[in-house]
Structure 1
């Protein structure tokens, strides 16, 4: 392996696709297929594993309907955001937008930009925590499945998750040295394939269980609760989990920035969003509905690691390995925008610092060469270590997903995209389109508040049980 030092002067704000970005990456080469792979990698992750539990909380009537509603809302959000990829600057012409926070800052102003920055970083950071929890759960499930196979289904087979979180964190320290999203197309393709693999396994096992049962379990109203209040808490928490399962607004513009300039990026991104959301919704409906049909009121919180299934143990092992591989890529999809944001800030803040600006070319005969520097290496390692530590402190799968989904759904997927769309298209107040979009935003705000209340209540009840 060779290391070559060089001074690196980033090219910031260039609108030409032929110029390298601030990491020296080649021109944008993304297509509808790579964008679809990025979206599927970002969307199908920890959330899909909880959907059978979500449908169990709300029942056969509302469960599938809510999945379709959230899919439609996600598409509306994606369409609004896709059109915000260029900012009409009166002095410089059109400025190509590279990130969600940059878009909010340009369209809505510095104050909204600062709020957005906090929310986006919290959302991306939270997703990385959730993925660490989910990966460790799947790794532990492999060990438990083998134990149940050897010693019987009544054996205790109790294992901790700390070691697995550390292992996942160490893998992410290495993966985090990938320069940026432009260099991650192969990671997203592999991760997307893995997501299909474990979704098919979960679907197949659930379908087989329905055949073994000889009937479809579950009810119109879902799992009974000890009181009306507890039932509402569970329903609200399920809404938060579904919101988390569809979240990808905060990485949409970063993905769009990887696309070729022709055909127009916004049109390609819309087509990729439609394709990706159609595919994910199909799998969500299949996995969620068949999971509930198989287990009814006993549906586990995580369909592949909650041990509704015990055999064939090797297939359960395979599915959980696929989950882990997918989450390795998914973690990077959500962490790379944070890395890029902090590293751009550091370059601007410390332009003369060799620690920040001196890059080294890393060459290895088995791997593609890439550039990094000491600041990037240190910051990315600390970032991964902190998400791993917090996952150890709060290892609660459904509750963490619900809180994260609730916190991010309205402000990032609805409010900012709607407001930016109104500004960009100069839609006057109290016109028909303005009223429709504002009503849409208000309804989603109410849903978000309900999700947050239920998820926080569930989190507190588990934490202090």
Structure 2
């Protein structure tokens, strides 16, 4: 999306050639590297999705759980690699840059698909930021509860309301949201990526300790067995919902182009991004496997929706606290990585619509920080609205499943495959075309099935909840 600001004008429009300070498109030189892109990817991929994987294993069992994780990882990697070639059009190395995922869709697939993509992309990004608000509040509450149990004993009533923690999270996000764009987010992403590794490792360590102390929980090859307390119908719905959770755990394609746009132009961005994508997804899959397998082994069929809050609040209580602090810090950063594309879209739209309006275009410098009135007001409102929605609908698992299901197919499968077919000029009904369509159709079926499962879970949760009464 081209901004109305002078920094977005092309080189020919500005009347000079690329220099030490500017790239081939006249924008300030990009400085991103393979390492910074990998950090962005890990921050976006290893999100709160990792926390529900042991629950997914309990629904799917050892065989289907492991196969599902590997399949989603391969499909995500394949589609992400196709997508890296769509950053420049029509040629992946020398073509014109597409600054955002939506720009790539527009230049490859036309205006109608571009609009549909916008609805899907910004819908999911908003949904995930709402989910992150809920998750962070649960983790903050877990710290509070663990300290309360430690102080007053395990019989104490340590229930806490989550709303105050959501407000604290919102205040910090309002401040962080003033980071002007993706290019300035690298330090935050690196910290967030380190945190995601840390809490995953702590969860893995606690699972191993639990297995060492109590042996392996009650597990089975097919997950929770059907019995008098658990009907076949219930099993089917839960399985569908678990598929949605796994899809959500791998979804990051919708910020891939935005991450690629931070890379230096030499070596070619698509080469760097392919390496970063492969590293990021493989690292994530190893962690996912460990968290899912060890979490399921530790808790068995009783695995909780968020496995870090399921270790009781027993000693070492400080370790649970550290893990939850890591989740909070990680999600503070991940919220920004996922919200920035939407922020940028609204702001560039406003600049094009009202180019003369000083409130929209003028930047003020306060203590060396660039402040823009429109950015300040709009981003603050966004954080406030998403926080209020999170307070009204605090359902972690089903919400995550529905988001994953609803967006996995269009954003992680359909658009990347269709853009690649268009850009690489793959002939209709050729072998490559046919098997790509088969892959897309199979993923669509999985998405629909998972969406149905999660919707049913949400309906069940809605029947027994009171708005603004989320308690941990």
Hey, what's the Cα distance between the residues in 1 that align with 2:157 and 2:402?
A: 30
The one of 207, 217, 240 aligned to 2:244: 240
Does the residue aligned with 2:359 lie in a helix, a strand or coil?
helix
5+ residue gaps, structure 2, are 13-17, 465-472
Compared CA separation, residues 14 and 415, structure 1 to 2 (3 A): farther
Contact 1:42 / 1:330 at 8 angstroms: preserved in 2? yes
Alignment map for 1:165-204 (pairs within 5 Å): 165-204=166-205
Alignment map for 1:218-297 (pairs within 5 Å): 218-225=219-226, 226-297=230-301
Q: Return structure 1 stretches of 4+ with deviation > 6 angstroms.
A: none
Hey, what's the Cα distance between the residues in 1 that align with 2:130 and 2:54?
A: 22
- Alignment match, 2:439: 440
Offset of residue 147 of structure 1: 1.6
Compared CA separation, residues 453 and 177, structure 1 to 2 (3 A): same
Compared CA separation, residues 436 and 147, structure 1 to 2 (3 A): same
Hey, what's the Cα distance between the residues in 2 that align with 1:177 and 1:116?
A: 26
Q: Does 1:34 find its partner at 2:36?
A: yes
Offset of residue 126 of structure 1: 0.9
Contact 2:31 / 2:264 at 8 angstroms: preserved in 1? yes
Contact 1:203 / 1:290 at 8 angstroms: preserved in 2? yes
- Alignment match, 1:11: 8
TM-score (structure 1 length as normaliser): 0.93
Hey, what's the Cα distance between the residues in 2 that align with 1:449 and 1:19?
A: 48
Q: Does 1:407 find its partner at 2:406?
A: yes
What's the C-alpha RMSD, in Å, of the aligned pairs? 1.8
Give CA deviations for 1:270-322 in whole Å, capped at 9, x if unaligned: 10011011111111111111111001011111011234453211110011001
Alignment map for 1:363-382 (pairs within 5 Å): 363=367, 369-382=368-381
- Alignment match, 1:3: none
Hey, what's the Cα distance between the residues in 2 that align with 1:18 and 1:462?
A: 57
Give CA deviations for 1:194-213 in whole Å, capped at 9, x if unaligned: 11111110000000000111
TM-score (structure 2 length as normaliser): 0.92
Hey, what's the Cα distance between the residues in 2 that align with 1:376 and 1:12?
A: 21
Hey, what's the Cα distance between the residues in 2 that align with 1:265 and 1:137?
A: 38
Contact 2:149 / 2:313 at 8 angstroms: preserved in 1? no
Compared CA separation, residues 443 and 13, structure 1 to 2 (3 A): farther
The one of 321, 324, 330 aligned to 1:320: 324
Offset of residue 26 of structure 1: 4.1
Offset of residue 95 of structure 1: 1.5
Q: Does 1:136 find its partner at 2:137?
A: yes
Hey, what's the Cα distance between the residues in 1 that align with 2:85 and 2:289?
A: 29
Contact 1:8 / 1:359 at 8 angstroms: preserved in 2? no
Q: Does 1:74 find its partner at 2:71?
A: no
5+ residue gaps, structure 1, are 1-6, 364-368
| Equivalent pairs, count | 449
Hey, what's the Cα distance between the residues in 1 that align with 2:84 and 2:22?
A: 22
Hey, what's the Cα distance between the residues in 1 that align with 2:11 and 2:453?
A: 45
Q: Does 1:349 find its partner at 2:353?
A: yes
Hey, what's the Cα distance between the residues in 1 that align with 2:189 and 2:386?
A: 21
Does the residue aligned with 2:365 lie in a helix, a strand or coil?
strand
